[in-house]
Amino acid sequence: MSVIDNAVYVEGRRTADPSSLDQALDALRGCQHDSAHRADDRSKNGEVAADQCFCWIGMLRPSEEELNDVAAEFELHGLAVEDTVNAHQRPKMERYGETQFVVLRPARYVDPVEVVELGEVHLFIGPDFVITVRHAEEPDLSEVRQRLEDDPALLAHGPYAVLYAVLDKVVDDYGPVLDGLQDDIDEIEVQVFGGDPGVSRRIYQLTREVIAFQRAVEPLQEMFGELRGRFAKSGDATDLELRRLMRDVIDHATRVMERTEGFRQLLTNILTVNSTLVAQRQNDEMTRLTEAGFQQNEQMKKVSSWAAILFAPSLIAGIYGMNFDVMPELHWTFGYPFAFALMVLLAVGLFLGFKRQGWL
């Protein structure tokens, strides 16, 4: 069964543990009937306050059939039930008659793989009931229930005390997520200035996680505004403590939103810096390659120059070494000195010419 816990509370104290939805409704009606009688007795003494009596049903991954059964018992709106069946909703608060439908996106940081996982919690809050539907194991709402049961004065505020406690749990769990993201950003900064070639991919992935987390957090501001309006309209003195507690949650959520926005801007700046550093490294590499090409070109000039200088004497020596009978100056007395002098003059002339051009 998807029903994890099912209880009826009177003045903040657990009075019944129904084993089924039918029993929960019967216990709730019986509680309300007794509360009405006690209220009549109190009115005779000038007291008009009735006992706060409500039931809290906690469900984990319920099937569509189970949700339809709950909807039929508590007269839940079809659109809200459809959203709960489909899940993957944005955080929001919507009112259907006397029932408030709330969607929250809790988050947790998975350290081994360094990712942020988003869950989903739906709450149906009526005048005398609370139905919490979880689509993931986290957060563990049994801890929230135990906290409230340990504080009957708080739980006596009724269904909205449950909403406050769940909101407080979700917002508090955002803290470790922010710490994990901060550690990831610190590591990325080291990678960026260390020249890690794979850091761009990690920046992109972390930016997507921060954006998804921001989408889970930002709608809380509007939600808190609606809650403030609800408490202001009620004018119930008993809501004063809830308003104070909710104000504390709002402060924490505001700090979460500010840090998340700061992370997003910081990642944008880091990505810009990384792009600049990558471009600078590419320019440095191009400069190095250009300098290497220039040095190779200079070496080729020197090699070509010396090859030309050596080629001229070799050419003359090759011609005069052919040993033909009929050749100019072959039998001339100064033929050998002339050929040698010609070789030297050509070599010196080429050397001076290349030197003047800067090749040597």
Q: What is the CATH number of the domain that holds 72?
A: 3.30.460.20
239 occurs within a structural domain: yes
Residue type (1 letter), 201: R
Domain match, 233 and 349 both: no
Helix %, strand %, coil % of the chain (to 5): 65, 15, 20
285 occurs within a structural domain: no
Instruction: Report strand pairing: 129-134 vs 99-104.
Output: unpaired
78 occurs within a structural domain: yes
Task: Report, as an integer, the average pLDDT of 212-236.
Answer: 79
Domain match, 316 and 253 both: no
Measured CA angle at 223 (ends 218, 226), to 5 deg: 145
186 occurs within a structural domain: yes
Domain match, 115 and 20 both: yes
Domain match, 274 and 303 both: no
Domain match, 127 and 225 both: yes
Contacts of 299 (CB under 8 A, 6+ apart): none
Q: What are the residues facing 108 on neighbouring strands?
A: 117
Over residues 281-331, the pLDDT tens digits come to: 778 788 888 888 777 887 787 877 787 777 777 777 777 666 666 666 666
Q: How far apart (Å, rounded) are the C-alpha atoms in residues 210 and 71?
A: 35
Question: How many domains is the chain partitioned into structurally?
Answer: 2
Domain match, 235 and 90 both: yes
Q: What's the confidence (pLDDT) of residue 326?
A: 62
Final residue of a domain: which of 226, 249, 279? 279
Is 50 exceeded by the pLDDT of residue 49? no
On whether the CB atoms of residues 158 and 126 are closer than 8 A, the answer is: no
Cis geometry, peptide bond prior to residue 139 (ω within 30 degrees of 0): yes
Residue bearing the bigger pLDDT, 153 or 351? 153
Domain match, 96 and 183 both: yes
Is 70 exceeded by the pLDDT of residue 333? no
Over residues 74-118, the pLDDT tens digits come to: 889 999 999 998 888 889 999 998 899 999 999 999 888 888 999
pTM of the model as a whole:
0.75
Q: How far apart (Å, rounded) are the C-alpha atoms in residues 169 and 58?
A: 15
Over residues 8-44, the pLDDT tens digits come to: 998 889 988 888 888 888 888 887 766 655 555 544 4
Q: How far apart (Å, rounded) are the C-alpha atoms in residues 253 and 177?
A: 13
133 occurs within a structural domain: yes
Q: Which helix (H) or strand (E) holds 22?
A: helix 21-44
Contacts of 65 (CB under 8 A, 6+ apart): none
Domain match, 137 and 67 both: yes
**303-320: b or e for each residue (b if 16 or more CB lie within 10 Å)?**
eebeebbeebbeebeeeb
Residue type (1 letter), 353: G
Weakest mean pLDDT among 76-90, 133-147, 243-257, 333-347: 333-347
The whole domain housing 65 covers 3-279
Q: What's the confidence (pLDDT) of residue 47?
A: 44
Domain match, 219 and 306 both: no
Instruction: Report strand pairing: 53-60 vs 129-134.
Output: parallel
Q: Which residue has the tokens 């020596």?
A: 317
Final residue of a domain: which of 252, 279, 306? 279
Shortest CA distance to 56 belongs to which of 139, 126, 147, 154? 126
225 occurs within a structural domain: yes
Over residues 157-202, the pLDDT tens digits come to: 889 999 999 999 999 999 999 999 999 999 998 888 888 878 888 8
